[in-house]
Chains A and B, each alone.
Chain A
Amino acid sequence: GAGVSQSPSNKVTEKGKDVELRCDPISGHTALYWYRQRLGQGLEFLIYFQGNSAPDKSGLPSDRFSAERTGESVSTLTIQRTQQEDSAVYLCASSEAGQGYEQYFGPGTRLTVT
């Protein structure tokens, strides 16, 4: 079956511009997660959705970052006024209800801020 998909796969943007990253989770997965991986580092948790609600936004690094999810499906991560330190691979994962630990990851979006 179809896995988690993310778009775009690569995004190059100028400092100060806004970007939107999209995640399509596995159909039927009610939980959705966003992570960030900077070069040479581990994955850093950003935000967690259960259905369309985000009970845990503790990882969002600043108020320039926001995310939403609609229809218990697609999620969009928006970064406003991008900075060079935002350059990273942004990974989305989804899981079944009650199976929150075994998360299935998408291929990621590589964001480069110039």
Chain B
Amino acid sequence: DQQVKQNSPSLSVQEGRISILNCDYTNSMFDYFLWYKKYPAEGPTFLISISSIKDKNEDGRFTVFLNKSAKHLSLHIVPSQPGDSAVYFCAASAAGGTSYGKLTFGQGTILTVHP
């Protein structure tokens, strides 16, 4: 049962344009969402997060939007740069109890930004 889904395995974008990565989830208990970026042969690196009490969080070129009713979140990168080329993972967590800190990840989306 895939509770966090990234339906686009890959995305190709021109440098300077917007990159939009999408993520859907099914578990209504999830209340915190994160995006991680991963380069080959490295561990994932935390990028940005959002709590379920918000619908938008912005950090520089990166903005995450959360639509709770649709159980959907997206990561916008504006403007995209070639160095942004990596695998992007969406992750979700439910607070409290023994599940605290346990992240459920999507399958990842490979972003390629062309110069």
Specify whether A and B are partners. Answer: yes
Place the interface of chain B in its size category: 20 to 34
Q: Does B111 contact A (CB under 8 A)?
A: no
Q: Does B18 contact A (CB under 8 A)?
A: no
Q: Does A107 contact B (CB under 8 A)?
A: yes
CB within 8 Å: A-B pair count:
66
Place the interface of chain A in its size category: 20 to 34
Interface 1/0 per residue, A1-20 and B, CB below 8 Å: 00010000000000000000
Q: Does A65 contact B (CB under 8 A)?
A: no
User: Which residues of B are found within 8 Å of A102, using beta-carbon distances?
Assistant: 34, 46, 49
B41, B42, B44: which contacts A43 (Cβ < 8 A)?
B44
Q: Does B105 contact A (CB under 8 A)?
A: yes
Q: Does B4 contact A (CB under 8 A)?
A: yes
User: Which residues of B are found within 8 Å of A55, using beta-carbon distances?
Assistant: 98
Q: Does B104 contact A (CB under 8 A)?
A: yes
Residue of B nearest to A49 (CB): B101
Is there contact, CB below 8 Å, between B46 and A100?
A: no
User: Which residues of A are found within 8 Å of B101, using beta-carbon distances?
Assistant: 31, 33, 48, 56, 95, 100-101, 103
- Which residues from 1 to 60 on chain A have a C-beta closer than 8 Å to any C-beta of chain B? 4, 31, 33, 35, 40-45, 48, 55-56, 58-59
CA distance A31 to B102 in the complex (A): 11
Is there contact, CB below 8 Å, between A56 and B102?
A: yes
User: Which residues of B are found within 8 Å of A33, using beta-carbon distances?
Assistant: 101-103
Q: Does B43 contact A (CB under 8 A)?
A: yes
Is there contact, CB below 8 Å, between A45 and B98?
A: no
Residue of A nearest to B5 (CB): A42
Is there contact, CB below 8 Å, between A4 and B43?
A: yes
Taking beta carbons and an 8 Å cutoff, which residues of B are in contact with A?
A: 4, 6, 32, 34, 36, 41-46, 49, 89, 91, 93, 98-108
Q: 23 pairs across A/B with beta carbons < 8 Å?
A: A33-B103, A42-B106, A42-B107, A42-B108, A43-B89, A43-B91, A43-B105, A48-B98, A48-B100, A48-B102, A56-B99, A56-B102, A91-B44, A100-B93, A100-B100, A101-B34, A101-B49, A102-B49, A103-B103, A104-B46, A105-B36, A105-B45, A108-B43
